[in-house]
Amino acid sequence: MKKLLISLFVLGFTFQSSAQITELPEIELVAVNYKYLDAAGDEDVAIPVKQLQRQVAEYDVRKADFYSDEYDFYTVNFFIPQGKILASYDKDGNLLRTAEKFKNVALPQAVSNAIAKRFPNWNMAEDVYQVNYHESGNVKKRYKVLLKNGDKRMRIKIDEKGNFL
């Protein structure tokens, strides 16, 4: 009986190991503007911001209806309810620069902690997240936050690492 159970156990594993193997189709990855995602993207940034930045990086201006070889650069606007990105591309589809503005998005943990530590009795009423990217690698990220404490109001500027400007 013991040998029968062991042989059934081993036989069960051999059937599982010869399971059906399927090949997945090849996927073409377009990483033209990966430098933009590396520079402007953040792990802690809000999800709608990440999604729109990914669309900007993956956009191929050469496939657009308005594309023509005679122009040196193209300006394209991307919109979502929380914000917008104004992006400039060259005629080869490379991202040259962006101007981004998002309203009332979730703040990164470092920013929230810095504000709570410096202004303990204040509440965050509104915020604006701005990003300016340039192809040279120069990126400016900052948050403008409106704080309220009763009838008092205060506006502050802070970068993505929690440093006050």
Over the stretch 85-139, which tens digit does the pLDDT of each residue have? 999 998 888 889 999 999 999 999 999 999 999 999 999 999 999 999 998 888 9
**Strand partners of residue 67:** none
CA angle 143, 38, 113 (to 5 degrees): 35
Q: What are phi and psi of 88, to 5 degrees?
A: -115, 130
d(CA 148, CA 155): 9
Q: Alpha helices, DSSP H only, in 20-146?
A: 34-40, 47-58, 109-118
More confident residue, 30 or 80: 80
Residues 6+ apart with CB under 8 A from 154: 119, 122, 146, 147, 148
Q: What pLDDT, in 10s, does the model give residues 16-74?
A: 555 556 666 665 545 567 888 888 877 788 888 888 988 888 888 888 888 777 788 88
CA-based diameter of the chain, in Å?
83
Q: Give bridge partners of residue 99 from the DSSP assignment.
A: 86, 132
How confident is the model at residue 11, as a pLDDT?
Answer: 63
End-to-end CA distance of the chain: 78
User: Closest by alpha carbon to 98, among 66, 130, 67, 58?
Assistant: 130
143 contacts 158 by C-beta, under 8 angstroms: yes
Residue 140, φ and ψ in degrees, nearest 5 = -120, 120
- What is the structure's pLDDT at 157? 95
**Cα–Cα distance between 55 and 78 in angstroms, integer?**
8
d(CA 66, CA 92): 14
Binning pLDDT at 50, 70 and 90, where does residue 165 land?
confident
